[in-house]
Amino acid sequence: MITFKYREEPLGKKSGYILRPVADVSLKTRSGTWIEYHPYIDSGADVSLIPLSLGKLLGFRLDRTKVEQIGGIRGSVPVVNVSVPMKIGSHEFVADAAWALLENIPPLLGRTTVFDIYRVTFEQPHHQILFQKL
């Protein structure tokens, strides 16, 4: 079992803070090195979302014929569907994800692949998220 703690983040222009569920994940580059990634754990996201600059660091190349639009709270985002080696704890696997062609989007750890491998339990009162390998 892997436990992640909620992270305290400022509310922006308002005073105070909010606690958000964040995972510690590593993604493997095309050259074989691992890059740390700290996405929000989002049970409402169909797919994990990788921001533009991180995708470039991972070695993704843009093929304009594969660009699709996906929708969310912030509206439509152009993406390219990708597969990326991912590591949560010591477990490595290949995850389906969407590489956003915009920078100003939140990194997300969505349901596709990840929730097929782990039982994910949000313990809101304890400010933690449990990942149990199925």
Q: What is the pLDDT of residues 78-94, one digit of tens each?
A: 999 999 999 999 999 99
Q: Would you list the domain boundaries of the chain? A: 2-6+21-133
- What pTM value is reported for the model? 0.89
Residue 50: name the closest of 84, 90, 7, 93 by CA.
84
Q: Computed from CA positions of residues 66, 59, 56, 36, in that sequence, does the dihedral angle turn out positive or negative?
A: positive
pLDDT band at residue 31 under the 50/70/90 scheme: very high
The CATH superfamily of 2-6+21-133 is Acid Proteases (2.40.70.10)
Q: What is the pLDDT of residue 73?
A: 66
- pLDDT, tens digit, for every residue of 50-109? 999 999 999 999 888 888 988 876 678 899 999 999 999 999 999 999 999 988 888 999
Q: Which of 19, 77, 27, 74 is nearest to 55 (CA)?
A: 27
